[in-house]
Amino acid sequence: MPSEPLIALALSLLISLVPFLPAAEKSAPEEEPAPAVEEQPALSAEQLAALAQTPASWFDEPALLDALSKLPHYDETRAQRYLAYRTGGVWTLEQVLRIVNTDNDLPRFTAAVDADPDDGDLILVNKYSRLASDYVPEDLVTVEPAYSNGGKLKSEANDAFCDLVEAMWAETGLHLVNASPYRSYQTQKNLYARYRTQYSEATTDRFSARAGYSEHQTGLALDVIAPGGTLNGFKNTQQFVWMRDNAHRFGFILRYGDGMEYITGYKFEPWHYRYVGVDAATFIYENDLTFEEYYAYYVKNKPPSGSFTAKKKQPLTAFSLARSRAISLRSYYLTSLVTSLSAKSAAPDNACTWCHSRSISTPQEAVNSVYDVSTFESAGTGRRCLRDQLYIGLTLS
């Protein structure tokens, strides 16, 4: 419930919205013109904030539409849909706008339309926007092995993720691991079906996407963990704190925020991040928006000339410079970490089977092997060498 000061401010605001009416009408002399009605002054930022948090149930229908019209993103064509939220729940005016403007008042899945691949990095995939079963994004690349448990991302998203991981280490000394990036339609179908054997449909839909409705199929989304950690434990890590406050610098957003399930359709997922480009991510972060809102206001419906315009292609960050083996920050990072383990790892009997079979017995050879793509990709599931153990917390065997 709103606090007492907020209620008082909201009530005073409601009173100020009522047009002034004279106590009694008097016929004015014909030679005197009727007095002009003084226009209501524009609401202050404080008044608008209070109005946005006022329950919709406090208004009758005409007053509700009048109050909503004073707030940003009011859409007259959705007026009747707004009115449906005057009863049947304690929704604030801000929440009513968010729900209806993102089409969350429509039935999920049955009202879904096809996602638009032409939106590029800003493609919307949720319970109202689906991908075809045969959709596979172009330019999928293997995620940098040192930062991942496997899998692929779109090339631009992969570059940005590598930049992000390197920046996190450079600024804090913390490590981050990609736990789950691109998933095919079939993989998501199998995953959802497995959860359905354990939970009801309604419960499963709150934390797992149905096939075709998963952002992972775009190649632009990934789940991250701390080395040796879990998804559910990620919110209690320093890595999460850094990601929450800095991911936008590299084009990523926390996709399913705390308390936003009524818009995103999913419970809070502190581990799930989506690449949208630096400009869009920064705007979303600074304005506390969901991606659904950003898409509705700045992608689906183009903003007026002179206001913020979303960009589908973003410039790479400063950390994208110097990716050669000789001067890459990544190579320096791995070299310094692996060297610290040299006393234990240099002996062949302490190297893993994969490294031993390739005569990799020193830290520098392990670092160099990261960049030998053909060797790396042939390693298969048996690969468990020094470079992995630095990130996923495995014990040397």
Active-site positions?
A: 269
Beta bridge partner(s), residue 376 = none
Total length of the chain: 397
Tokens matching residue 378: 């042939």
Among 272, 257, 191, residue whose Cα is nearest residue 225? 272
Helix (H, G, I), strand (E, B) or coil at 130: strand
Contacts of 27 (CB under 8 A, 6+ apart): none
Rg (CA), the chain: 27
φ/ψ of residue 320, rounded to 5? -80, -5
> SS3 of 165, please?
helix
Q: Which two tokens stand for residue 204?
A: 């499963």
- The distance in angstroms from the start CA to the end CA of the chain is 57
In terms of C-beta density within 10 A (0-12 exposed, 13-18 middle, 19 or more buried), how is residue 25 classed?
A: exposed
Structure token pair of residue 320: 């994208």
φ, ψ of residue 148 to 5 degrees: the values are -150, 150
List the one residue out of 396, 393, 388 whose CA is nearest residue 346: 396
Which one-letter DSSP state was computed for residue 296? I
Contact 167, 215 (CB under 8 A): no
- 110 and 125 in contact (C-beta within 8 Å)? no
